[in-house]
Amino acid sequence: MYNLYKLSILPNHLNQVLIPPYPYIATNGNDYVYIEAECPKLSDRYLCKEDLNYHIKSSPDCVAALITVQHLTASCSTVTLVLTKQAMEKLDDAHYSLVFPNETKVILSCGRNEYLNLKGSYLATLPTNCSLHTGDLTIVNANNEINGQPMKILLTSINNSIPSPSLIVLRISSIDLKSLHNLFNKYIFNK
């Protein structure tokens, strides 16, 4: 049995991101395999075909090591991502990854309004009938029963002894975070 992870791309406090080769990874702690699309879900399990046409690897690369041992290894290459506008990625009906490159006024509405100024990368969990508003985006959870509140993600500290050179610097206004996989692959293939 493998655990399936969606690999969301969020900048750390240095505006560095790891761009994995595919948006999903499955691992059992010993082996891992990247997957291009989410497997069908049945209850709380995902049913992935055994013939995924991907080679199962036993030695972890940077992303797999980050998931299993939770620190960056020397094999990690980052890209500096400079956003000028906020960006978000929907993880499921109630969970979102959010990036606020500048201090942003946010209104959380869940029975009452809460006003916050946020800057940085966040994972947001919106309970049912709650919403998050900024000047540029609105996120509403009208259907899902879930408890939670937006909370700041844990940023992995970068060990100064591990070189983490940026391959490129991307200066973009805003982007659908999922499309960074395609953009990065186009850059690599055109080198």
Q: How many CB atoms lie within 10 A of CB 86?
A: 18
How much is the average pLDDT of 16-32?
A: 84
Q: How far apart are CA 58 and CA 46, in angstroms?
A: 21
Tell me: do 64 and 99 sit in the same domain. Answer: no
Tell me: do 143 and 98 sit in the same domain. Answer: yes
Count up the domains in the chain and report the number: 2
From residue 181, alpha-carbon distances to 24, 148, 177 in Å are: 11, 29, 8
Q: Is the pLDDT score of 176 beyond 60?
A: yes
User: Rounded to two decimals, what is the model's pTM?
Assistant: 0.66
Within the chain, how many helices (H) and strands (E) appear? 2, 14
In a domain, 169, yes or no: no
Q: Is the pLDDT score of 96 beyond 70?
A: yes
- pLDDT, residue 134, reads 92
Tell me: do 72 and 126 sit in the same domain. Answer: no
- pLDDT, residue 168, reads 58
The residue assigned the tokens 């505006």 is: 15
Q: How far apart are CA 2 and CA 27, in angstroms?
A: 5
In a domain, 93, yes or no: yes
Domain final residue, candidates 76, 107, 138:
76
User: Using one digit for the tens of pLDDT, what is the confidence trace for 8-17?
Assistant: 888 888 888 8
In a domain, 114, yes or no: yes
The whole domain housing 34 covers: 3-76
From residue 163, alpha-carbon distances to 11, 18, 78, 155 in Å are: 17, 14, 10, 18
Range scoring the smallest mean pLDDT among 44-48, 83-87, 133-137, 155-159: 155-159
Instruction: Give the list of residues 6+ apart from residue 146 with CB closer than 8 angstroms, or none.
Output: 94, 125, 126, 127, 128
The neighbouring-strand residues paired with 80 are 16, 169
Q: What is the overall mean pLDDT for the chain?
A: 74
- pLDDT, residue 104, reads 92
Range scoring the smallest mean pLDDT among 47-51, 63-67, 138-142, 165-169: 165-169
Tell me: do 92 and 145 sit in the same domain. Answer: yes
Q: Is the pLDDT score of 120 beyond 90?
A: no
